[in-house]
């Protein structure tokens, strides 16, 4: 098959060429072609194997330096240090591979969740399949908003327009048709009967046959070139790498000072000081931070996906935490997207349906609501106009046998609704008696009404009764309810030529019904949570101003004091210049009768105020606003493929409450990264200060094996576990952190500083106690015990400090300390590995430690507990005196 000629072939020739037909391929043919052509996917850069990932871990400069140090130690005869250094290198490499593979798996799982689908005809049946399963010869159905999933030849087209700017550079959508083109060599943009993968349908509908898939498509050629481009890191990862580089320089300077001072003061041999300084530098540099950030973000996406928020771009997870404005569509997102009966007016009584027992209503109003109705019941529920299905659903929800009424009153004739008379009527029969039931606009129906039924009694419709009906109609309209009136009349006979003039007259008024698309029950609480979190919720809708205002008021977006000044219409927006809108945008919470193109103006106006804006959208025309917003939120159910692809997040349930859940998760992810950074850097600072001051004071210093072992067992496992901590209860009571905040904001930098100093002080204090209050008379034993106690103290302090780090400012005693199972295991493993070096005799020589007496262990334990208590006291003081 030569794809260059498909535009020259007629529809029949194309179908013949692919051995297919309008009824589609059979399942067997699909399987055979899938084997032949492969999946309809654009190939990505080849992933590294586990071995390649493992080797890549040794490319880091500090690891290379450490390997050189190990070789030097081995040649110098210090085999124990060489073995420990190599062991640490290998373990770090293994853990690095695990981190990278974990992040990749999380992201791959996310991609699987967001795999696009296509409607295809196979074996004369319309099916929805993954777009990756399409094969050449498949017949697919397309409509406005769809992304074309492969290169196709259109075989049917109705008012079809396709946006091809990304591929051809054509600035406006291209009109498409099915006619063959005689010229062989014409540009892609001129092939009016072809569609290309990843271009979008902006108008009309089409049926098409798939011509090429995957890397054989026009976009596939571009993808082939893109795969040779080096993959870039996210801005968040870049900032972490930048932070690591700055810290690396600082640590290297300190390590150099330790080496120089140690040599000048004759603290150890040149080789020993070199190994110590290198070990200190490697231990103190947080080389695992980028991996921790990636894993935390990736795990965050999986958590959100389980809660119906599919994250399409990793940085969006972190950006969510800064969201200050959420601009939401009304229908389907804030509301249930289904009309629902709320008020019923019957026998001069207006009642809320919550207070009305529908099962006891056996009246003409009930008959009119059910019979003057074209809804159809099916296995999938009610089918028909949303207004009519709402009338039937009201009775179904109240366990009324609707089908029994329909059966007892078979329909003989109907006059469908039209926009001029605003009425719809049916003629039914029961036991030989014929009745006309009618529904429609209140004012139009009253023009034809002469009587009213009250408590089953029919009386003439007086002027007062008519005025009361109109007043109640107005009352319901002010509540933004859509009102329908109902009437009936007995018929002696059916006219030969039934029309509105000879049927819809002399009616008996029986009641009115008020309906609305109600708010989702969980949304009001979500908006309240957003407000307490410092997030302003906006409603943007194409509905009428009154309807929008009523729902907004019910949800808490508006209050009586601000309405109507907080509501603006699209027409009013058009009258405002960009400067005027920028100045006044904070006045508005509801935007009614708004066209999609207005959304971009609204987003930009809020961004001009320095706000981080999340915008929801589901239509093709929403794509520009979704891309303009800081966070674009697409709808998974009602959303078009165009809007989903323009979004950073897709809501699988189209629910506003899910956005708030995602914001909470985004804040949690950022907070957990802050916790990991605070923990790692304070621990590293404690190590650096301890070794630096030991050198300056002329004390014994840790062996390289001891430094590296502490760094391995106390840093790695708890830091990763902190990345999956549960959200703190107060996380949605805090204001958005703002665009200028960093990981060191909110007191994190000062906490790192004092906690690092505290770790160093406690460790040095234990060493001083051991030297000045020894258990032995031998100087060698005294110094061995002192160094062992300092080694155990530094490690145990960091393990205790991991508990402090579970909350940046809150007390850990109000948290469920054992909810995070991974954290519990990490603490247990770190503790066992640390104590094993001292308690297992065969490890003593390797790690240059001695056995400790119970009272010495008690001092070590007290130092660890002191770390926990002091940090908690500092946090208590911060909360009491410095928290606003």
CA dist 818 to 302, 476, 828, Å? Answer: 22, 54, 12
* Residue 193 and residue 216 in contact, taking contact as beta carbons nearer than 8 Å: no
Dihedral angle over CA of 41, 44, 50, 54, nearest 10: -170
The span from the first CA to the last CA of the chain, in angstroms, equals 71
Contacts of 630 (CB under 8 A, 6+ apart): 319, 322, 323, 607, 612, 613, 614
Dist CA 825 CA 822 (whole Å): 5
Catalytic residue among 146, 329, 715, 785: 329
Could you give the angle at which helices 704-722 and 656-697 cross, rounded to 10 degrees?
170
Query: What is the per-residue DSSP string for 596-624?
Result: HHHHHHHHHHHHHTT--EEEEE-SGGGHH
**Which residues, in sequence order, are bridge partners of residue 880?**
none
Dist CA 481 CA 476 (whole Å): 6
Contacts of 138 (CB under 8 A, 6+ apart): 20, 24, 25, 30, 120, 122, 150, 209, 210
Dist CA 272 CA 78 (whole Å): 9
* Residue 389 and residue 383 in contact, taking contact as beta carbons nearer than 8 Å: yes
- The CB density around residue 348, as the number of other CB atoms within 10 Å, is 13
* Residue 587 and residue 572 in contact, taking contact as beta carbons nearer than 8 Å: no
CA dist 214 to 211, 221, 222, Å? Answer: 11, 10, 11
- The CB density around residue 689, as the number of other CB atoms within 10 Å, is 20
* Residue 196 and residue 188 in contact, taking contact as beta carbons nearer than 8 Å: yes
Q: How many residues does the chain have?
A: 884
Contacts of 514 (CB under 8 A, 6+ apart): 341, 342, 343, 344, 345, 476, 479, 481, 482, 483
Dist CA 770 CA 467 (whole Å): 97
Query: What is the per-residue DSSP string for 425-439?
Result: EEEEEETTEEEEEEE
* Residue 702 and residue 760 in contact, taking contact as beta carbons nearer than 8 Å: no
Contacts of 129 (CB under 8 A, 6+ apart): 117, 118, 120
Alpha helices in 401-512 (DSSP H): 402-408, 442-446, 463-478, 500-503
Q: State yes or no: is 654 an active-site residue.
A: no
Q: What is the 3-state secondary structure (H, E, C) of 794-854?
A: HHHHHHHHHHHCCCCCCCHHHCCCCCCHHHHHHHHHHHHHHHHHHHCHHHHHHHCCCCCCH
> Look-up: residue for tokens 């091809």?
164
- The CB density around residue 193, as the number of other CB atoms within 10 Å, is 23
* Cα 15 versus chain centre, distance: 42
Residues labelled as active-site residues: 329
């Amino acid at each position: 098959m030569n794809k260059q000629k498909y535009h020259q072939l007629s529809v029949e020739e194309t179908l013949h060429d692919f051995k297919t037909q309008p009824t589609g391929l059979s399942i067997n043919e699909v399987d055979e072609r899938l084997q032949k052509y492969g999946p309809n996917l654009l190939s990505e850069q080849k992933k590294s194997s586990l071995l390649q990932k493992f080797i890549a871990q040794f490319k880091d400069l500090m690891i290379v330096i450490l390997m050189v140090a190990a070789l030097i130690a081995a040649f110098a005869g210090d085999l124990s240090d060489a073995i420990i250094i190599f062991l640490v290198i290998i373990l770090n490499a293994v853990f690095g591979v695990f981190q990278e593979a974990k992040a990749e798996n999380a992201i791959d799982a996310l991609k699987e969740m967001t795999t696009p689908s296509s409607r295809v005809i196979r074996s004369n049946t319309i099916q929805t399949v993954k777009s990756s399963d399409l094969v050449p010869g498949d017949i697919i159905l397309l409509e406005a908003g769809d992304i074309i999933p492969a290169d196709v030849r259109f075989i049917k087209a109705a008012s079809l327009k396709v946006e091809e700017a990304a591929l051809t550079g054509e600035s406006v959508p291209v009109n498409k048709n099915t006619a063959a083109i005689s010229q062989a060599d014409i540009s892609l943009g001129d092939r009016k009967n072809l569609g290309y993968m990843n271009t979008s349908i902006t108008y009309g509908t089409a049926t098409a046959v798939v011509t090429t898939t995957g890397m054989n498509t026009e976009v596939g050629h571009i993808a082939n070139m893109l795969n040779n481009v080096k993959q870039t890191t996210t801005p968040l990862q870049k900032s972490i790498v930048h932070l690591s580089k700055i810290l690396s320089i600082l640590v290297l300077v300190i390590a150099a000072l330790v080496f120089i001072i140690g040599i000048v003061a004759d603290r150890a041999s040149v080789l020993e000081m070199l190994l110590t300084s290198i070990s200190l530098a490697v231990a103190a540099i947080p080389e695992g931070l980028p991996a921790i950030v990636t894993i935390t973000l990736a795990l965050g996406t999986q958590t959100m996906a389980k809660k119906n928020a599919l994250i399409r771009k990793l940085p969006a997870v972190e950006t969510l935490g800064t969201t200050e404005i959420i601009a939401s569509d009304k229908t389907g997102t804030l509301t249930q997207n289904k009309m629902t009966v709320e008020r019923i007016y019957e026998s001069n009584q207006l009642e809320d349906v919550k207070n009305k027992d529908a099962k006891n209503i056996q009246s003409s109003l009930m008959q009119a609501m059910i019979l003057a109705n074209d809804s159809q019941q099916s296995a999938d529920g009610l089918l028909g106009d949303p207004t009519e299905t709402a009338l039937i659903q009201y009775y179904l929800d109240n366990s009324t046998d609707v089908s029994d009424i329909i059966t007892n009153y078979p329909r003989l004739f109907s006059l469908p609704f039209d926009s001029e008379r605003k009425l719809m009527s049916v003629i039914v029969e029961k036991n030989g008696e014929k009745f006309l039931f009618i529904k429609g606009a209140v004012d139009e129906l009253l023009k034809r009404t002469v009587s009213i039924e009250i408590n089953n009694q029919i009386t003439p419709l007086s002027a007062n009764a008519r005025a009361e009906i109109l007043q109640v109609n107005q009352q319901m309209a002010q509540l933004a309810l859509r009102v329908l009136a109902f009437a009936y009349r007995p018929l002696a006979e059916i006219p030969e030529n039934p029309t509105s003039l000879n049927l819809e007259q002399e009616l008996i008024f029986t009641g009115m019904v008020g309906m609305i698309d109600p708010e989702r029950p969980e949304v009001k609480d979500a908006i309240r949570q957003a407000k307490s979190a410092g997030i302003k919720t906006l409603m943007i809708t194409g509905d009428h101003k009154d309807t929008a205002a009523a729902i907004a008021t019910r949800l808490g977006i508006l209050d009586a004091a601000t309405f109507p000044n907080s509501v603006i219409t699209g027409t009013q927006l058009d009258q405002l210049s960009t400067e005027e809108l920028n100045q006044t945008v904070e006045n508005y919470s509801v935007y009614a009768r708004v066209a999609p193109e207005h959304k971009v103006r609204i987003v930009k106006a809020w961004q001009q105020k320095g706000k981080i804006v999340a915008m929801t959208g589901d239509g093709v025309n929403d794509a520009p606003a979704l891309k303009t917003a800081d966070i674009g939120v697409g709808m998974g159910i009602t959303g078009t493929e165009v809007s989903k692809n323009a979004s950073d997040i897709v809501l699988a349930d189209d629910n506003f409450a899910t956005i708030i859940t995602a914001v909470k998760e985004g804040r949690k992810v950022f907070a957990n990264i802050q916790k990991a950074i605070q923990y790692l850097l304070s621990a590293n600072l404690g190590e650096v200060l301890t070794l630096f001051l030991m050198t300056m004071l002329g004390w014994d210093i840790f062996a390289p094996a001891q430094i590296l072992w502490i760094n391995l067992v106390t840093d790695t496992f708890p830091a990763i576990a902190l990345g999956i901590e549960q959200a703190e209860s107060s996380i949605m009571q805090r204001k958005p952190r703002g665009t200028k905040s960093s990981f060191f904001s909110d007191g994190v930098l000062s906490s790192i500083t004092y906690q690092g100093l505290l770790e160093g002080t406690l460790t040095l204090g234990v060493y001083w106690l051991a030297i000045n209050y020894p258990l032995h008379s031998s100087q060698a034993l005294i110094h061995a015990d002192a160094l062992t106690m300092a080694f155990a103290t530094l490690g145990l302090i960091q393990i205790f400090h991991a508990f402090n780090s579970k909350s940046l400012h809150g007390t850990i005693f109000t948290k469920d300390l054992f909810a995070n199972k991974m954290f519990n295991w990490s603490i247990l493993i770190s503790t066992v590995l640390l104590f094993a070096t001292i308690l297992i005799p065969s490890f003593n020589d390797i790690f240059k430690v001695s056995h400790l007496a119970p009272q010495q262990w008690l001092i070590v334990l007290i130092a660890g507990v002191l770390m926990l208590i002091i940090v908690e006291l500092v946090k208590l003081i911060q909360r009491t005196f410095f928290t606003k």
